[in-house]
Structure 1
Amino acid sequence: MYKSATRSFPVYDSLRQAIIEQALKPGVKLPEDSIGETFGVSRTTVRNALVRLDAEGLVDLQPNRGASVAVPTIEEAHDIFEMRQCLEREVMQRLCAMDPKPIVKALRAHLAEENKYLHVDTTRSIRLAGEFHILLAELTGSKILANYVNEIVSRCSLIMARFAQAHSAKCGLDEHTEIIAAIADRDAERAIARMHRHLHGVQDRALLKPDDAEKNNVSDILARYVTPND
């Protein structure tokens, strides 16, 4: 029992990462048996992970129809971005009221990772761009705020996979640099303005496009996310 419960976390983490990195696209079916075979776990373990992802809005789990990666509507996309503006405004206000030295040090280290993979690994670049915002929230020291930002950033990644015409990592990197500079100066008004502009830029890039006709095998995709369990 205990082993089965703990093994659901690697499945959850891997599925979540594959969705955030846009390897698993919106609408892709997530068959429990194939996922279980890929990770060497039971269907019950896989279902536990899918139920958790369904609660976070990343997976659509329907009775008697199985699970698939959630397909957000354009209306949901606008609503989520509006809520994200509110959350990240609060993050900026809190960080600018704190000692900037440890905050800026952590953010610049993350920025170096973003720059490292900018033209090398698109999937990792996408993930690191989102994790920058999660790190900002974590640095406030508020677990509740960090959890909300974590969830909404993940859902924005899903929205970008569904609607965005292109991932513009270079724009994001430059904007992240400006945000760090404002925090370093403890200039809340400037930090909020830079974040507001940054998120609007991300939202503006989320333009409707035709569905990708390419069909990928879920097992092949998830095999890249399996971690040896020795």
Structure 2
Amino acid sequence: MARPSPRIEVAHEALRQAIIEQALKPGTKLPEDVIGEQFAMSRTLVRAVLAKLEAEGLVDANPKRTATVAQPTLAEARNVFEVRRALEAEAVRLVAKRWQPAFADELDSLLRQEDEARARQDERVSIHLAGEFHLRLAQLSGNALLERYLRELITRCSLILAVFGRPHSSDCAIDEHSALITALRAGDADGAVAIMHSHLGAVERRALLGGDDEKPAALGDVLSHYAAAVTARQTTKPPRTAPQK
């Protein structure tokens, strides 16, 4: 299979991260000309990026009108959390079965980054890192299909938080993630599943709190920031070591 254009990859990841970290609010218009200018892409390539984001549930695209950041309904939000709870429970069981000391090192590193973001009150990065923690768990499960589905659900949950509320206390997520690592390190699969279930219940409750009235930033400014960050990560990030089988 042909590898996607690097420009498509950068544009997709920049837009995805901007939506997940709530720099682009639900309902924000995504004009093709602005995106094309930012990433030096034709409208055809921009539409390919938007189609990919639409498939992930992050963008509402329609040939007859300007694409926008998706706005999930409350019913859709509840459906997402129902499925996520079921799949993350299975992911935790698989991780527990495959557990290696190196797994704890990786998860502890993400937890430290979460704590650093909390300490400097960087809520957007904290939201991103919380999602990355769950994505890494999915990857450590060793099941590529489960990882794929959870990636979509986790990104949709970030969007749901933007629509219906904000996680007012990142301390809660960090404590819950820490407890999960402790249970996995101890080989307590059932305990880890129970902690995950309780954690996702708390995330869902925090998602229903109601948002703020922060003024949205200009699309071009947001994309410029995220494009630079994505490009920097791609040039410096070392290859990920696959979990041992």
Give your verdict on TM over 0.5. yes
SS at match of 1:28: coil
Aligned to 2:190: 189
TM-score, normalised to structure 1's length?
0.93
1:127-159 deviation per Cα after TM superposition (whole angstroms, max 9, x unaligned)? 000110000010111111111111100000000
Structure 2: where are the runs of 5+ without partners?
A: 236-245
Aligned to 1:209: 210
Cα RMSD, aligned residues only: 2.0
Deviates more, 1:107-116 or 1:169-178: 107-116
The 5 A counterparts of 1:32-111 are: 32-111=32-111
Q: CA deviation at 1:213?
A: 6.6
Q: CA deviation at 1:4?
A: 8.4
User: Is the contact between residue 59 and residue 70 of structure 2 (CA under 8 Å) also seen in structure 1?
Assistant: yes
Q: CA deviation at 1:39?
A: 1.9
Query: CA–CA distance in 2 between the matches of 1:94 and 1:3?
Result: 30
**Structure 1 residues 3 and 42: CA distance shift in structure 2, 3 A:** farther
User: Is the contact between residue 23 and residue 216 of structure 2 (CA under 8 Å) also seen in structure 1?
Assistant: no
Q: CA deviation at 1:167?
A: 3.5
**Structure 1 residues 4 and 192: CA distance shift in structure 2, 3 A:** closer
**Structure 1 residues 213 and 102: CA distance shift in structure 2, 3 A:** closer
SS at match of 1:67: strand
Task: Name the aligned partner's letter for residue 200 of structure 1.
Answer: G
Using the aligned pairs only, state the percent identity: 45
Query: CA–CA distance in 2 between the matches of 1:102 and 1:189?
Result: 21
User: Is the contact between residue 19 and residue 25 of structure 2 (CA under 8 Å) also seen in structure 1?
Assistant: yes
User: Is the contact between residue 33 and residue 43 of structure 2 (CA under 8 Å) also seen in structure 1?
Assistant: yes
Deviates more, 1:195-204 or 1:39-48: 39-48
Deviates more, 1:65-74 or 1:42-51: 42-51
**Structure 1 residues 59 and 107: CA distance shift in structure 2, 3 A:** same
Structure 1: where are the runs of 5+ without partners?
A: none
Query: CA–CA distance in 2 between the matches of 1:146 and 1:89?
Result: 13
**Structure 1 residues 98 and 5: CA distance shift in structure 2, 3 A:** closer
